[in-house]
Structure 1
Amino acid sequence: MAKHTTDTGKPACCGPGVLTACTIKNVEEKNVTDKKNTRMQQLGYRKPADVPEPDQLVLVEFVSDGRVAIITLNRPHADNAITTELAAQLIEVLETIAARSSVRVAILTGAGDRAFSVGGDLYQRNEMTKEQWLRQRQVFDRVLYTLRQLRRPIIAAVHGMAYGGGCEMAISTDFIIASDDAVFGQPEAMVGLSAGGGSPVLLPRVLPPGRAMQMLMTGDPITAQEAHRLGMVNELHPSDKLMEEVLRIAERIADNSPTAVQAVKRAVQMGQGEPVEQAVAIMMDEHWRSVVHPDRVEGIRAFTEGREPTFPDPDF
């Protein structure tokens, strides 16, 4: 007698909405597989490949006539996990960019195709003394502070995993453009830590507070699609098109008056959380600086003459 099948060719017992021994068996098999891995491993964490560490843990490339700096976390063998040494090099790169007047926009991304960054390197931390841990915490804090305080606009180009300190670095930038395979998570509670890189403060500002709280308490990540729907991510693109699209946005910003762009950034940052009238006062202070700046003269003159304006590098 012929076996009864569904349109998909599967046995009828496996049809949608049918909870039978067949369905239960599949669930049990999945549960057995999941139990072989820890929760952290199920998130995608893995032991770093046994290869020599690169000399340059952070790469920087200047493109678009030097106006755009692409900063790349360069530990792909470890999913760009952040060591004390990588963090120290990242500070140097950010401070170099801050002092380089020709740079108008920065992009932060990660090497390889698996991760933006999975956060602090837990294998390094496992071997640390208390003093080494405290030193690393100070270096990490300085990285995140420097990201937040950089005068130039900085965009996070996120692909793959952005966990822990990696997610915190992303939300410390001005905005995030992500690939459609990106995932964002704060799994610190899974290893006995309270998140300390800013996510308890910053995450509820880019997500509904309850959703942020769930991420921080469970350690479960959210997909790029959910992050985009909730406003944490500005745009989604295929992974092979991500850098092309981020560079397009960076060049659009670089074409504008750097003085005006930096003024807008300060007005938004300093006005957040302030009462409306105080925030408006901050905004107007930045506005009047732009009114008396030569970029305003050049911009309006170019408009009336039917040409593109030519804005010099910022003078502060």
Structure 2
Amino acid sequence: MNYVHYKRLGTNQEIAEIILDRPEAKNAFTTKMAREILELCQTIQRSEARAVIIRSSSGGAFCSGADLKERNGMSEDEWKEQHELFEAMFHQLQDMKQPVIAAVDGYALAGGFEIVLNCDFIIATEHAVFGLPEVTRGIMPGGGGTRLLSRRIPLHKAKDWILTGRMIRAQEAEQSGLINLLTTREQVMEETIAFAEKMTANAPLAVQYCKAALDELYSVDYKAARDLEIEYYNRCVDTKDRLEGVRAFVEKRQPQFIGK
């Protein structure tokens, strides 16, 4: 039985959809489920998909984190080995060439919240609840929580959320700047697909290079950032889509991008 499923969405089937499907455990990820997410992301990375959506198969819980029942009784070596797989899963999500959107309804806690933080965008319903409660269990976020949350919200807010381990409801998350779009449970997928299609309508290589440049430029010094930005710009210029975009503008028509 697979706990992660894959669909193609959008007008031209250019959106890859990852569906977490372990509702009986609030999508808590086991070793098997983490491996499925990792392998599916690797497949999508190699595909012609132009955007990725990750969501739960049911309302009430996006993902409650790692399955602590599976982890209970693990040896230290087994725990570390499993966490290496989890790290690979988180890193693969963050490093996807395509923009990745988390559509969150219900609880996104611990590693589940870190799945969300490793995505590029967050669209949430008013029923979404976020939290990094690791400190209440004697551990700390291990999938990028301490590194990524402060890139989304002010540092003092990130410290509040992480050091208290408290639950953050959707309204507070939006006010703090975490969420790209707050919507209803009934409209979340329609809104998420529409959001994705605004990007899939653009030249895919240009979108991918912009994403990569933004991610890399965020944390490097000014001189290195300036050089790296031009490197990505030159990659983008050297594409057929750039020529098509200019021709379409001159001819007053919609461009037909091919990803080359």
Q: For residues 114-169 of structure 1, what are the alpha-carbon distances to aligned partners after superposition, in whole Å with 9 as ceiling and x for unaligned?
A: 11101011111114333331221011000011011111111111111110001111
Q: Which amino acid aligns with 2:9?
A: V
Matched residues in 2 for 1:157 and 1:71: separation? 10
Task: Tell me what 1:82 maps to.
Answer: 29
Tell me whether 1:304 sits opposite 2:250 in the alignment: yes
TM-score, normalised via structure 2 length: 0.96
For 1:86, give the aligned amino acid: M
Structure 1 or 2, whichever has the larger Rg, is 1
2:77 & 2:219 partners in 1: Cα distance?
35
1:219 is matched with 165
Distance in structure 1 (CA, Å) of the matches to 2:65 and 2:53: 18
Which one is further off, 66-75 or 278-287?
278-287
Report the alpha carbon displacement of residue 277 of structure 1 after superposing the two structures with TM: 2.9
Counterpart of 1:191, as a letter, is R
1:95 to 2:54 alignment: no
Aligned to 2:123: 177
CA distance in 2, matches of 1:211, 1:252: 30
Aligned length: 259
1:133 aligns with 2:79: yes
> Aligned partners of 1:245 and 1:95: how far apart in 2?
26
Cα distance in 2 for residues equivalent to 1:189 and 1:264: 36
Alignment partner, residue 150 of structure 1: 96
Q: Is 2:17 the partner of 1:70?
A: yes
Q: Distance in 2 between matches of 1:275 and 1:223?
A: 35
Determine which of 187, 194, 217 is the counterpart of 1:271: 217
* Structure 1 residue 246: Cα displacement: 0.4
**1:254 shift after superposition:** 0.7
Amino acid in the other structure paired with 2:130: F
Give the AA of the match of 1:269. Answer: D
2:136: which partner in 1? 190
Tell me how far apart the structure 2 counterparts of residues 179 and 225 of structure 1 sit (CA, whole Å). Answer: 9
SS in 1 for 2:53: strand
Distance 1:291 1:124 in 2: 49
Matches within 5 A, 1:229-308: 229-308=175-254
| Structure 1: unaligned runs, 5 residues or longer | 1-54
Secondary structure of the residue aligned to 1:301 is helix
Match of 1:123 among 44, 48, 69: 69
Alignment-mate amino acid for residue 310 of structure 1? Q
Greater relative contact order (Cα < 8 A, sep 6+): 2
Q: Normalised by the size of structure 1, how large is the TM-score?
A: 0.80
| Identity between Structure 1 and Structure 2 (%) | 37
Aligned-partner Cα distance in 2 for 1:185–1:85: 24
> Any gaps of 5 or more consecutive residues in structure 2?
none
CA RMSD of aligned residues (A): 1.2
